[in-house]
A and B are shown apart, each in its own frame.
Chain A
Amino acid sequence: MKIVPDYSIDDAPSSDIMAFFGGNAGPSSMDSSIIAWIKGRRSSTSYFFSVCTGAFIIGRAGLLDSLTATTFHSSIENLRKALPNTKVLSDVRFVDNGKVITTAGISAGIDGALHLVAKLKGDEMAKQVAAYMEYDKWVPGQGLVVGSK
């Protein structure tokens, strides 16, 4: 399947949330122009969000330095090696550091997105969205919110 994006790093407008994904994230994470572009968006973007191995992209841009993160279950050890200054957790659906949210693999992106919706627009809205999507297996507490009890 081919997807035609709206923008490239040459003309993308500013955004409140930037989201990155897995599935061949390696080339993007190793591309110096993409990494520089992300770094340039750091202060103007309210939230960075990654699903699966998208964590490698934002991690290479320094966004996970000294933070806690997660990624696709088979890539936990590789992310630990790639980001020695990041605490990488397994067995968690998402990790919220405040401005930077990472999720585990693939379907965990739904949990992370629901968490971000809850954070921005309230728990009740996130529950309504989960119900509408028939994602009735959603357990909000399966993520870690750093700093909360």
Chain B
Amino acid sequence: MTSNRVIFFINKGTHILDLAGAVQTFYESGDYGNPFEILYMSHKGY
């Protein structure tokens, strides 16, 4: 399997740098090859 789709699970109150550092890293790697597909999910109430 090519590991290209990443889902980021967001809590209500997720620290922005917890999320943003990882998102930015995966996103920028797309400039050097096959990009990751980045999706975000959460759960109702969170």
Number of interface residues of A (CB under 8 A): 50
What mask results when residues 1 to 42 of chain A are scored 1 for a CB within 8 Å of chain B, else 0? 101011111001111111111111101100101100000000
Q: Is the interface of B mostly helix, strand, loop or mixed?
A: mixed
B residues near A47, Cβ cutoff 8 Å: 3
Which size class do B's interface residues fall under? 35 or more
Instruction: State which of A7, A21, A110, A125 has its C-beta within 8 Å of the C-beta of B14.
Output: A21
A107 at interface, CB cutoff 8 A = yes
Instruction: State which of B1, B9, B17 has its C-beta within 8 Å of the C-beta of A20.
Output: B9
Interface residues of B (CB under 8 A from A): 1-19, 21-22, 24-26, 28-29, 31-34, 36, 39-44, 46
